[in-house]
Structures are given as C-alpha cells and as structure tokens.
Amino acid sequence: MDRQDSATARFTLGRQSSLAPDPVVPVCDDDGVIDPRVRLMYLANEGDLQGIQDLLDSGTNVNFTDIDGRTALHVAACQGQTDVVHLLLRRGADVHLHDLWGSTPLADAVYYKNDDVIKLLEQHGAKPPMAPMHVENAREVPEYEIDPKELDFSNSVDITKGTYCIASWRGIQVAVKTLEEKVFADEYKVNAFRDELALLQKIRHPNVVQFLGAVTQSSPMMIVTEYLPKGDFCLYLKRKGALKPTAAVKFALDIARGMNYLHEHKPEAIIHRDLEPSNLLRDDSGHLKVADFGVSKQLIVAKTVKEDRPVTSQNTSWRYVAPEVYRNEEYDMKVDVFSFALILQEMIEGCLPFYTKPEKDVPKAYVANERPPFRASPKLYAHGLKELIEQCWSQDPFRRPTFKQIIKSLDNINDQYARKRRWKGMPLMCLQNLENMVKKGRSSPSSHSSPSTWR
C-alpha cells in the first residue's frame, strides 16, 4: 500500500509517536476489519515474528505508512521489540522515514529509552535527530562552541536539580546542563535552552555563575558553566539550619548584588523568575552566585512579561514563587524581590517557608496575603531586618524595593552589626579606661564656668 492509499488506515495500539504520543481512534473498513497492511503494524506491536514474516512473504510493503506516516519500524522502535526491528531491517525497512510529526524510528526509540533498538538502528545508518541550533555553514558556528569529545563524563555525578552533572574539560571540572534528543520536539524546552544560552553569554559578575561554552551543533545539546564544588545553598541550609544574622546578611548581600546586576543589565533587564536556594551556588570563598537561568526573561521593550503557559511545580518550587506568577498574570522584576525575602527569612528561621504546609498549598497562601510567621527571637531581626523582609514580600509589587535599595539597607544593617561586634570585642581594661575618662571629663571644670563654681 502506497502513501496515497494510507488515508484510510491508522495504527492505534501501544505507544504512539514520540512527538505526538496521544492515542487516536482506530480506523477500520465497513465490515470492521482492520486493513491487512495496517495489520503489519499491529503484529510489530505484539512482537509476532512469524505473523510479520508471513505478511511480508505475501507481498505486504515493509515500508507501508498509515495516515500518520507511521511504519511498522516506528511501532517496533517504540515498543522496544528488538527482534522485530532486526527482522524488519533485514527485509528492507527504511530507517530514515519521518512520521506526520517528524519523528523517525530512532527518535522514538530514544524517547522511550529502548537502548538495544537504538544501537541496532544506528548500526543500520540511522542518525540521531539534528540539533535544533545546528548550522550548515561552518563560519556560522558560534565562538562559544565546545567539541563534545573534549567533555569527559567518566567520573560524572548529578548535581543540583539533576539537570546538571560534573564533567572534566581542558583540565578543570565543569558543570554541564544537557538537553536530550527526546525533548527536541518540545518547542518550549528548546526555546528555554536558547534563551538561557543567550543570557549566559551576556552576563559577567562575581555573584553570577560563569558561562564557559556550549554544545549546539550536535546532540545532545549542552551548556557548560563553572563548577562550584561547595554545592548549592539549599543543601547548605539543610546542613546548617538557622544562620547567625551576620552570616545571613552576608549571604543576602551576595544574592542582592548578583540580582541587582541582572535587573540593571543593559539594554535588557533580566528577570530570573526562579530564585530559590537550589539555584544559588557557593564558591570556594563561601560567597554565593546566582545560577540556572532556564526560565529567565528579558525585559526588552515591555515593562512586564507573562508566561507562555502556566507555571507548574515541575518548573519551579512553589515555596518561593510570587503570587502574580502563580496567578499567571503579567509580572516584572519584583517577583525576584519576593523570592529573595523568603530566602532571607529562611536563613534566620532555619526552616522552609510555610514548612508545615504541603508545597502545593503554599502559593495559595501567598495569594491570600499570608506570609511565613516570624518565630525566631526578635533580637535576630535587629536593625530593621524584619521590616526589610516585610517590604520585599509585599502583596503589591510596586511597594517592594529594588535590589539597589535592598543592598543599601543590608549595608546599613551590616555596619550596625559590625559596630556591635567592635564594642563586644573591646578589652575590659579599655572599657574601664574609657569609663574613667568619661568620669574625669564630667568632673573637670568647664572653661566657661565661673571661678566660684570650682569650689
């Protein structure tokens, strides 16, 4: 059966195309009998080697395509039917055919993680899907491009959220974020990868993770950044619990300086939109760097942005997301200020925001203008620290301060802590001498006093 005849036939059982895996309604003839040529696909789904052999011997085209452009090889690749794939290839199945959504048998095998089928198809000339950013002209290859052969994953381990892993590159350890072939068809994820790559090329700041290069001309695509062995701030807080206010302020200044750089970036301001402890990394000196710009936005012309689709708990942690993002409204840079407030309070309290609530209920509390309670001693929120947090998580984004204003407030708080430390560190003898000097000053005659007052 040729493609022209396939409009009346469709395979519907088992796994569907990796690019459109939703099931469809079966199509039969008037007597309810499935087209015998579509039967080849059903037998491939079931792994019936003898039935397949009989159909092919009777003249059925091994490369028959149904209304969706699917072949028996597509089906077998989806199902992981290695023996069927081997038989179909021996009988001349074409490994390069694309279905209605552009998926090849190899792409389907990759999507469903059928490793044996992947190897078999590649042995017969199947090529992995082209990287979405691939260019034909060698002169157009970006300067940041890294040859994937230079990346050594032999001792690799997953880090942060699992999207990053460690690799060796030119004598140093690096962090690698990978976009697998199986999600190349997900336009949202590919665009997020492009956007993150575009952002990382533009930003240079001590409190922002350093971009080193990327793999875009082959698959899987990768973003390579500096590796910070001290790990993410989330793990640090779990290990340390509540921090001393002085330490909390120091870390808060690191975050605020990195975020202020992003928000004041020219010509486009950058909204992180996923500011949370797991996206903050500690360097060798113990300072924090802002990382993971997978959902970040640039304010090019408009003053606000809106998500292309509602944010889910798979994209971000609900405990740190601003109410306007949860409501899928337009938002601006102040969503990062809201998240910052929750991180700062968490450092003092030593527990997650609303740790007694399930995560899915937390954003509803924020929308209802509830905020995590201040349970720690008031003295830990001295010098206006509590007031700063409350300003930052205001329900009205307009009332939240900018990071430039936050840095100024934190600097003042830090100075007050420093003065307090100097007083506490002053030796007792110095204090006594100072006290004697004060007493002596009070008892000495004033230069403007009359002689009669001296006696």
Q: Indicate whether 237 and 369 sit together in one domain.
A: yes
One pLDDT digit (tens) per residue for the chain, 455 residues: 444 444 456 656 556 665 555 544 444 444 555 676 788 999 999 999 999 999 999 999 999 998 888 999 999 999 999 999 999 999 999 998 988 877 889 888 877 888 899 889 989 988 766 666 776 677 778 888 999 999 998 877 777 555 678 999 999 999 998 887 666 666 777 888 888 888 898 899 999 999 999 998 887 889 999 999 898 999 999 999 999 999 999 999 999 999 999 999 988 889 999 999 999 999 999 999 999 887 777 765 456 777 765 565 555 688 999 999 999 899 999 999 999 999 999 999 999 999 999 999 999 999 999 999 999 999 999 899 999 999 999 999 999 999 999 999 999 999 998 887 776 655 655 656 666 776 666 555 444 444 443 33
Q: What is the pLDDT of residue 309?
A: 57
Cβ atoms of 288 and 251 closer than 8 Å: yes
Q: Indicate whether 303 and 387 sit together in one domain.
A: yes
In a domain, 444, yes or no: no
Number of domains in the chain: 3
In a domain, 445, yes or no: no
What predicted TM-score, i.e. pTM, was given to this entire model? 0.68
In a domain, 32, yes or no: yes
Q: Indicate whether 376 and 295 sit together in one domain.
A: yes
CA–CA dist 352, 349 (Å, integer): 8
CATH number at 55 reads 1.25.40.20
Residue 277: half-sphere exposure toward Cβ, Cα within 13 Å: 23
Give the DSSP H or E segment for 434: helix 428-443
Q: Indicate whether 218 and 320 sit together in one domain.
A: no
Degrees to nearest 5, angle at CA 71 with 67 and 77: 135
In sequence order, the 6+-apart residues with CB closer than 8 A to the CB of 452 are none
CA–CA dist 255, 275 (Å, integer): 9
Select from 88, 123, 158 the last residue of a domain: 123
In a domain, 430, yes or no: no
Q: Indicate whether 185 and 265 sit together in one domain.
A: no
CATH number at 151 reads 3.30.200.20
Cβ atoms of 78 and 48 closer than 8 Å: no
In a domain, 64, yes or no: yes
In a domain, 453, yes or no: no
In a domain, 329, yes or no: yes
In a domain, 440, yes or no: no
Q: What is the pLDDT of residue 129?
A: 65
Domain that holds residue 206: 138-226
CATH number at 308 reads 1.10.510.10
Q: Indicate whether 259 and 399 sit together in one domain.
A: yes
Select from 187, 204, 226 the last residue of a domain: 226
Q: Indicate whether 62 and 97 sit together in one domain.
A: yes
Determine if the peptide bond prior to 267 is cis (ω within 30°): yes
For residue 419, the tally of other CB atoms under 10 A from its CB is 10
In sequence order, the 6+-apart residues with CB closer than 8 A to the CB of 29 are 8, 35
Q: Indicate whether 150 and 253 sit together in one domain.
A: no
> Pick the catalytic residue: 274, 292, 332, 336?
274
Burial of 189 (0-12, 13-18, 19+ CB in 10 A): middle
Q: Establish whether 274 is a catalytic residue.
A: yes
Q: Indicate whether 218 and 267 sit together in one domain.
A: no
Q: Indicate whether 179 and 206 sit together in one domain.
A: yes
Select from 168, 199, 226 the last residue of a domain: 226
Q: Indicate whether 203 and 266 sit together in one domain.
A: no
Q: Indicate whether 197 and 96 sit together in one domain.
A: no
